[in-house]
């Protein structure tokens, strides 16, 4: 069995989302988080989360990317329970039984997105079409023979690990630098 796990290749999620998901937590699409929102009026970080966020189920934070990861039956059951409890505690689901049914559906949908080789990256792009939310999922698969390698060491990406993943980036300062 496979399920999506949040992944951070750099610290950008902490900048673009109101709440970033922790690395390595189980994830779902998260489109249900926008059910009560006026989608046409979303701005800023909420708009970014709507357009490109995948929901970490433990933190209820957003991740730009998730990775297809192996999961046991116990992992799946724990993911359902974590999501169900958060649906009750954070979103006011009427009871745990109703929340579990919704969580089962969300986890089943998330698992259906993982019909790819392990370590495949998944991203979402959400739009509004005729008043309905449309999700399109994209994949980035590892090169043949790259299974087991870190995406940070893969030539497809040029990322640098510099200590804490929560580091902030001074985007304003970058725009005021003079070219050398």
Residue pLDDT, tens place only, 83-122 = 999 999 999 999 999 999 999 999 999 999 999 999 999 9
**For residue 13, what are the contacts with CB-CB under 8 A and spacing of at least 6?**
20, 21, 61, 62, 63, 64
Q: Taking a C-beta distance cutoff of 8 angstroms, is the pair 37, 15 a contact?
A: no
Residue 53 lies in a domain: yes
Give how many domains the chain has, as a whole number: 1
Would you say residue 165 has pLDDT above 50?
no
**Mean pLDDT, residues 157-175:** 37
In this structure, what token pair is assigned to residue 165? 């993943």
Residue 180 lies in a domain: no
For all residues of the chain together, what is the average pLDDT?
84
Q: What confidence score (pLDDT) does residue 83 get?
A: 98
**Mean pLDDT, residues 153-172:** 38
State the residue for tokens 């790259």: 146
The residue ranking higher by pLDDT, 129 or 152, is 129
Q: Could you tell me the pTM of the whole model?
A: 0.78
**Cα 73–chain centre separation:** 21
Q: Give the range of the structural domain holding residue 103, as residue numbers without chain letter.
A: 2-175
End-to-end CA separation in angstroms for the chain: 51
Residue 90 lies in a domain: yes
Q: What confidence score (pLDDT) does residue 145 get?
A: 60
Residue 115 φ/ψ, nearest 5 degrees: -80, 55
Q: What confidence score (pLDDT) does residue 155 get?
A: 44
Residue 51 φ/ψ, nearest 5 degrees: -70, -35
Residue 14 lies in a domain: yes
Q: Taking a C-beta distance cutoff of 8 angstroms, is the pair 13, 20 a contact?
A: yes
Q: What confidence score (pLDDT) does residue 157 get?
A: 38
**Mean pLDDT, residues 31-58:** 92
Residue 31 lies in a domain: yes
């Amino acid at each position: 069995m496979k399920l999506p796990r949040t992944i951070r290749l750099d610290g950008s999620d902490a900048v673009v989302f109101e709440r970033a998901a922790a690395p390595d937590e189980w994830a779902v699409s998260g489109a249900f988080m926008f059910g009560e929102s006026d989608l046409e009026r979303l701005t800023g970080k909420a708009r970014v989360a709507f357009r490109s966020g995948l929901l970490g189920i433990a933190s209820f934070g957003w991740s730009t990317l998730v990775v297809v990861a192996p999961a046991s039956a116990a992992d799946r059951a724990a993911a359902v329970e974590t999501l169900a409890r958060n649906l009750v505690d954070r979103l006011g689901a009427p009871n745990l039984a109703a929340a579990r049914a919704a969580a089962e559906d969300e986890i089943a949908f998330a698992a259906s997105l993982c019909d790819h080789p392990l370590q495949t990256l998944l991203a979402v792009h959400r739009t509004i079409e005729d008043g309905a939310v449309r999700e399109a999922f994209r994949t980035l698969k590892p090169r043949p023979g790259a299974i087991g390698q870190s995406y940070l060491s893969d030539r497809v990406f040029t990322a640098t690990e510099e200590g804490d993943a929560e580091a902030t980036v001074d985007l304003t300062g970058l725009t005021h630098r003079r070219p050398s």
